[in-house]
Amino acid sequence: MAIREIIILPDKQLRLVSKPVDRVTSEVRKLADDMLETMYDAPGIGLAAIQIAVPLRLITMDLAKRDDDETSVARPRVFINPEIVSKSDELSVYEEGCLSIPEYYEAVERPAKVRFRFLDLDGKTREEDAEGLFATCIQHEIDHLNGVLFVDYLSKLKRDRVMKKFTKFARRAAE
């Protein structure tokens, strides 16, 4: 396993639409392991492959760190080629952040419940229902696979401020 570099806004790769994984291979499993290690190191609760500059439809997630129970153990999850198959009309609001937009958090409204389909690490098709933080996180990460960032749900004014801030930060870092 290896910790990979997480790309940061305004990197244009974050706007790429990721390609489906054709087959679950040892390389895909290794990528998932690297992503989990990278996500834990960051630390974060979700990571899409595009955030480490790999444009494949692969997500890792572990919501245990966000549980109130300090004894919660890691529950690493891997979702390959995930897609939303249904959404509730009911909405919920969560404060979201993103490892590719560090130290910026904002309330985002999304469907409160979703049903999604994915492949597991054995290449088997699965479907799950998600609600609460799980629903928010899976939607956030699937958005990454489609080149969408959580700041795209904000008002134009807030989004422009964030883009300007991170563009300025990237320019300074390049100097």
Active site residue 95: no
Structural domain contains residue 1: no
CA-based angle 107:110:112, to the nearest 5? 115
Confidence at 170, pLDDT banded by 50, 70, 90: confident
Among residues 95, 106, 141, 175, the one annotated as catalytic is: 141
Q: Count of domains in the chain? A: 1
Domain holding 63, by residue range, is: 12-174
Bridge partners of residue 80, in order along the sequence? 58, 119
Mean pLDDT for 155-170 is 93
Nearest CA-CA partner of 171 in 15, 9, 13 = 9
Residue 82 neighbours by CB distance under 10 Å: 23
Tell me the β-bridge partners of 90.
none
Does the model's pTM come out above 0.85? yes
pLDDT > 90? residue 160: yes
Least Cα distance to 173 among 7, 1, 34 occurs for 7
Beta bridge partners of 60: 47, 78
Residue 2 maps to a domain = no
Task: Look at residue 31 and tell me if it is in a domain.
Answer: yes
Separation of CA 163 from chain center = 19
Q: For the segment 48-74, what is each residue's pLDDT rounded down to a tens digit?
A: 999 999 999 999 999 986 555 555 566
Of 73 and 120, the one with more pLDDT: 120
Q: What is the CATH number of the domain that holds 36?
A: 3.90.45.10
Specify if 93 maps to a domain.
yes
Q: Token match 């959404």: residue?
A: 87
Q: What is the pLDDT of residues 11-41, one digit of tens each?
A: 999 999 999 999 999 999 999 999 999 999 9
Q: List C-alpha distances in Å: 59 to 7, 12, 106, 107, 140.
A: 15, 19, 22, 22, 10
Q: What is the pLDDT of residue 103?
A: 92
Query: Residue 73 has what pLDDT?
Result: 61
Scan for tokens 């630390």, then name that residue: 43
